[in-house]
Amino acid sequence: MAASFPLPSLQIPQRPLGELLRIVQRRLEALDLGFTRIAFVHHEASTDLLSTFCETGADGGPTGRDGESVSSQPHFEPRALATVPALSRLRDQRRARVLHDLERELDPTSGHSRWLLAQGWRASLPLPLFHHNRLLGFLFLDSTRAGAFDPRAMAALEPHLELLLLQISHHFRDITSLDGSLGQLLEIAELRDQETATHMERVALYSHLIALQLEMQRPLPADFSENLHRFAAFHDLGKIGIPDRILLKPEPLSREERLVMRSHVVIGMALVEKLITAMGLEADPGIDLLRQVVAHHHESLDGSGYPAGLRGAEVSLAGRIVAVADIYDALTQARPYKPAFSEPHAVQMLRTMVQAGKLDGDCVDALLRSDDQRQAIRLGHAAGGAWEGNRPPEQAGVPYDPPIPLPG
């Protein structure tokens, strides 16, 4: 009698990308081909920025020249695609490329080349991935063995690459659909209360900036900064449910009206849950970040925030980051009721809120450390910005694209 065995799950798109990368890497390790790292580096079209979305960790990560383990944190520092000519060419050609011997084939003057060699890798296979003709990013397979990607290895790799490319495409298809639905709701909200899209974009960019700085100081999921960049703009989604008589009121709100205004957080949480359920994204490991952004961006570390009055560690890192980004943007942008505060004044107000125990000091420091980038965001989008309800604070304090051709 033939042996029986359980069928594998067919819900591949629900499997976390990082988990799938580790599974594939363990299978490749069994082939004894020297593969030590698989990574997906995401491309953000609006900024041209490349940054690590997920990669195999310490249990399957790269080793250096002497065999010592390299940090499990992402090594690929965010950089503009335009500054990496080799990857730009792969994007334009829409083809994969095998680098059989990195020491001989790479440009020794390139910072990216020096970084690759410093990890101990000697062969690499970068594959650009597209969705609806838009570049999603690059899948990298790296080996410590020169010449590792020979015909035998490529034949063994092909089904695994198909699986990884399909998984990544599914992930971004679902997230893109969610972004589109959320974006439509925000467009309706903007028509009602005149909050401009530039405010949301700045909050997302500031949040991304803070997260990138924090990644250098503490262990964070490889996709944290990218997911936060994607979701931070939707922090005030619930304002779509606030009545016009309160949302658009030019005079100060009464106590009862302020309570209604504060309900935008709960409304936003409910809207997000309905969309997540409708799109079947409950199992997506990155979706909790969207929940945290919406639910926690008005919480304070001292328990004085809302809607839950969370304290300290109860407030998610995503909520802490977006709170700092939102407040900084409101301080530095002109509104009908106030001019834009000067940079020193805004910085002092942030510091005061840290000292009062309301804001996360590490998040504030991370924002202020990135002076050039922060000023570029602020000056590049001069209009917009809003306090809750457009008034000062109470206290000043898709279809899957087929795989690209693989090299023989």
**CB burial class (10 A; 0-12, 13-18, 19+) of residue 327?**
buried
Q: What is the pLDDT of residue 91?
A: 92
Q: What is the pLDDT of residue 215?
A: 86
DSSP E strands in 132-188: the ranges are: 134-143
Residue 134 three-state SS: strand
Per-residue pLDDT averaged across 90-111, rounded? Answer: 85
pLDDT-derived band at 337 (thresholds 50, 70, 90) equals low
Average pLDDT, the chain: 77
DSSP E strands in 71-175: the ranges are: 79-80, 123-131, 134-143
pLDDT at 129 over 50: yes
* Alpha carbons 329 and 360: distance in angstroms, whole number: 16
Q: Which residue in 44, 134, 136, 97 sits closest to 406, CA to CA? A: 97
State pTM to two decimals.
0.63
Q: What is the pLDDT of residue 7?
A: 34
Q: What is the pLDDT of residue 143?
A: 86
The 10 Å CB-count burial string (b at 16+, else e) for 275-310 is: bbeeeebeebbbbebbbbbbbbbbbbbeeebeeeeb
Q: Integer distance in angstroms from the first to the last C-alpha of the chain?
A: 41
CA torsion sign, 250 to 251 to 257 to 261? positive
CA torsion sign, 271 to 276 to 282 to 285? negative
Q: Which residue in 180, 158, 142 sits closest to 40, CA to CA? A: 142
Taking only the tens place, the pLDDT of each residue in 29-54 is: 777 767 778 888 888 776 787 877 77
Residues 6+ apart with CB under 8 A from 177: 279, 398
Q: Which domains occur in the chain, in start order?
A: 13-170 (3.30.450.40), 194-390 (1.10.3210.10)
Give residue 154's region: left, alpha or beta (phi > 0; psi -120 to 50).
alpha
* Alpha carbons 260 and 242: distance in angstroms, whole number: 7
pLDDT at 216 over 80: yes
C-alpha distances in Å from residue 40, one per residue of 102, 108, 127, 169: 19, 24, 9, 11
Taking only the tens place, the pLDDT of each residue in 343-382 is: 999 999 999 999 999 999 999 999 999 888 898 888 874 3
Per-residue pLDDT averaged across 62-78, rounded? Answer: 41
pLDDT at 243 over 90: no
Structure tokens belonging to residue 281: 């994204």
Q: What is the pLDDT of residue 5?
A: 35
DSSP state of 68: P
CA torsion sign, 319 to 327 to 249 to 236? negative
pLDDT-derived band at 259 (thresholds 50, 70, 90) equals very high
* Alpha carbons 121 and 102: distance in angstroms, whole number: 8
- Cα angle at 63 between 58 and 67, to 5 degrees? 125
pLDDT at 192 over 70: no
